[in-house]
Structures are given as C-alpha cells and as structure tokens.
Amino acid sequence: MIEIKKGGKYTVLSNSGKDEPLITEGEFVGYTIIGEEGAVCFRTRGEDGKSVLRLIPVSNLISIEFSEDELVTKKAEGNEREKTNYIS
C-alpha cells in the first residue's frame, strides 16, 4: 500500500471549476471532512505569499506527484487498525 506522509512535500493537480486544473505545491497536513466528503489538506503559499491551508475534496483530485523519498510503502504487520489523521 502506498501512503502519503504527513509533512511530505507534494504537487497536486485537482479540478478547479475552470478549464485548467489547479496546481498545488505544498506540505501534506492531513485529512479532513468538508460536509460529507473527505478532503486532503496542504499547507501552501497564497497569492499574497502568506502561508495558507488548502483543502482539496478527494473527488476533485487528478494526481499527486512525489519522489520515492516522500512516500511510505511498507506498513508494520499485525492487527493494528489503520490510522487516519483528521484536522479540525
């Protein structure tokens, strides 16, 4: 199983409601819920250069690009339940 890791730097393409996809380059913060839909949260730079959090609904994701160093590929074996990080 491939997972993105908290604190990793990623480039995300997502639907933006315009003709062109939205490109987000930033640090993965965690998962959250927008209404009834799951979303991923990234810390990035706003148009004014300040740090902002961007929530991207999972249904809008096109791709997530990352290097081999920025992913977790092996989980510890055992009966441990999968963990999901939520922000609020």
What mean pLDDT do residues 52-78 have? 79
For the cut 70, the answer to whether the pLDDT of residue 75 exceeds it is no
Taking phi over 0 as left and psi of -120 to 50 as alpha, with beta for the rest, 16 belongs to: alpha
- Nearest alpha carbon to residue 66 among 21, 2, 1, 14: 2
Q: Where are the beta strands (DSSP E) in the chain?
A: 3-4, 9-14, 22-34, 37-45, 51-57, 61-65, 71-72
pLDDT at residue 71, rounded to an integer: 61
Categorize the per-residue pLDDT at 18 as very low, low, confident or very high, splitting at 50, 70 and 90: confident
Q: What percent of the chain has pLDDT over 70?
A: 76
pLDDT at residue 5, rounded to an integer: 85
